[in-house]
A = this chain, B = another copy of it.
């Protein structure tokens, strides 16, 4: 009989943002597959087994987890944030789609989590209070010209933009190029949020004007939120600025 395959999200790293549903899944699983730093967020019993793999080996990890679940083991695949947002749930579905028929019989349970942009937005106000989008800058999964076209389209359409995977050693220039693209469309004082490690001890939230924003203000643990022309910054004495995007637009834009 097939085991159950949980695909969970821990949230961004603050244990108080991990849901009881995710903890129940952890309690019910025997084997755990994931990137080491995400597995390190779990408290496991002595009889539970960790299988650490590199962050780039998502499809291989999904296949091994499906094999084990098909063999009758209750397995847990662990993502940070939400597993459905640029994370393991799509890799597991992809493996099922192209894998042996028996993998379709596995009892798959995806457990949602707080994704980075929501945690960052909460720390800074309400920048996602109006229409918004989430775009990954990881161009090993799609061609860079497509990313450029998408950035132009959503900036012109007035959506706030949350950028995932903004920068890494292998992708040093993409975020700077993304800022250049939106600079041609949005006002110079559009708010840019660098939301690093939201809710973790090493959290760092920075707000910049688009004209001044530098790619070097982000690292791999950062979710970058690019405001729209409507996004507003509220200065507060003795407290960090609040950034929010109003719920309404009174007049037809442009």
How distant is A121 from chain B, measured CB to nearest CB, in Å?
A: 4
Do residues A129 and B90 form an inter-chain contact, with CB atoms below 8 A?
Answer: yes
Contacts of A119 in B (CB 8 A): 112
Contacts of A113 in B (CB 8 A): 114, 118
A170 CB within 8 Å of chain B: no
Do residues A247 and B94 form an inter-chain contact, with CB atoms below 8 A?
Answer: yes
Residue among A97, A111, A114, A242 with max Cβ neighbours from chain B (10 Å): A114
Do residues B130 and A249 form an inter-chain contact, with CB atoms below 8 A?
Answer: no
How distant is A76 from chain B, measured CB to nearest CB, in Å?
A: 14
Partner of A112, one of B121, B125, B131, B158: B121
Q: Which residue of B lies closest to A143 (CB)?
A: B252
Distance, CA A72 to CA B228, complexed state (A): 34
Distance, CA A8 to CA B41, complexed state (A): 24
Do residues A85 and B24 form an inter-chain contact, with CB atoms below 8 A?
Answer: no
Partner of A145, one of B108, B245, B252: B252
Query: A: which residues have CB within 8 A of B?
Result: 11, 14-21, 24, 58, 82-87, 89-94, 96-97, 104-105, 108, 110-115, 118-119, 121-123, 125-136, 141-143, 145-146, 149-150, 153-154, 156-159, 232, 234-239, 242, 244-249, 251-253
A-B contact pairs, 16 of them (CB 8 A): A11-B19, A16-B20, A18-B20, A90-B244, A90-B247, A104-B239, A105-B236, A105-B238, A110-B125, A113-B114, A113-B118, A115-B118, A133-B134, A141-B249, A146-B249, A146-B253
